[in-house]
Amino acid sequence: MIVLVCPGQGSQTPGFLIPWLEDPANRTLVDQYSEAAGLDLVLHGTESDADTIRDTRVAQPLIVAAGLLTLRALARTGAIPADVGIAGHSVGEITAAAGAGVLDDLDAMRFVAARATEMAAAAAATPTGMSAVLGGDVDALLARLEELDLQPANFNGGGQIVVAGALDALADLSSAPLPGTRVIPLQVAGAFHTRYMEHAREALAPAAAALTPVDPARPLWTNADGSLVASGARFVDLLVGQVASPVRWDLTMESMQSAGVTGIIELAPAGALTGLARRGLKGTPAVAIKTPDDIQAAHDLLAA
């Protein structure tokens, strides 16, 4: 089984949409996505600087638009078999919902715009942040997080856990790291996927209620517990809950492995999830679609 994977916030870089927009069909799609999201995604994907596209309100719609653009370009140049699975990391789950047919593209863009707005507002309410912790003993780390009133936000697999909470507590963790660990502060605006996002979760519910999801047309995994989800309505409910709950990408990769994954194709802006797969799905062939030039390699993997 080949699995399409959709990256989350932090994977964007300045100007990454430039090669994509050379194709008029792609430019038309991004214009449509911009209108649905209420943002100039062409501007943000070509001219905006790193600080601008790091803003949650910009980053999340931009990342989902790029993933959808990649999906549609991939489908235009060759069939994507129905047994090809799909999964997204954090906001990439909205891309995956559209890729599985649970949502149409424009509803996905409207929903991600609402998500981004509410998460940015929640992040602004209390100064918080996130750090990646590499290596070490998981149980010891979780115990230390409890002492510091921090929370695990992303279990990324391969010995990487992203933790989140108050800035002073994160500083304490960094200044006295546990044996065998390395702590890397992340340039994000708040403690995503933790209790600090509870207001965003509540505020996002009406936007979710306005959607009309259908059941997925291809295998679709959730970050909630790594399981396959057969109900479109349930997947949307999980999208809302995930705002304030940890991302279990480790369990998602384990489920892919149990399903017999034979290859990974990461949608733009690609690189982060194929990197995690090198540690969590060792030996699994992977293609990162960063520009249109990478689409043929993706089709070669699909054909293989």
Q: What positions carry a catalytic annotation?
A: 90, 193
User: Residue 257 corresponds to which amino acid?
Assistant: Q
The answer to whether 247 touches 92, Cβ cutoff 8 Å, is no
Copy the structure tokens of residue 123. 């992040």
Q: What is the 3-state secondary structure (H, E, C) of the chain?
A: CEEEEECCCCCCCCCCCCCHHHCHHHHHHHHHHHHHHCCCHHHHHHCCCHHHHHCHHHHHHHHHHHHHHHHHHHHHCCCCCCCCEEEECCCHHHHHHHHCCCCCHHHHHHHHHHHHHHHHHHHHHCCEEEEEEECCCHHHHHHHHHHHCCEEEEEEECCEEEEEEEHHHHHHHHHCCCCCCEEEECCCCCCCCCHHHHHHHHHHHHHHHCCCCCCCCCCEECCCCCCECCCHHHHHHHHHHHCCCCEEHHHHHHHHHHCCCCEEEECCCCCHHHHHHHHHCCCCCEEECCCHHHHHHHHHHHHC
CA atoms within 13 A on the CB side of 22: 8
The neighbouring-strand residues paired with 161 are 133, 155
User: Residue 288 corresponds to which amino acid?
Assistant: A
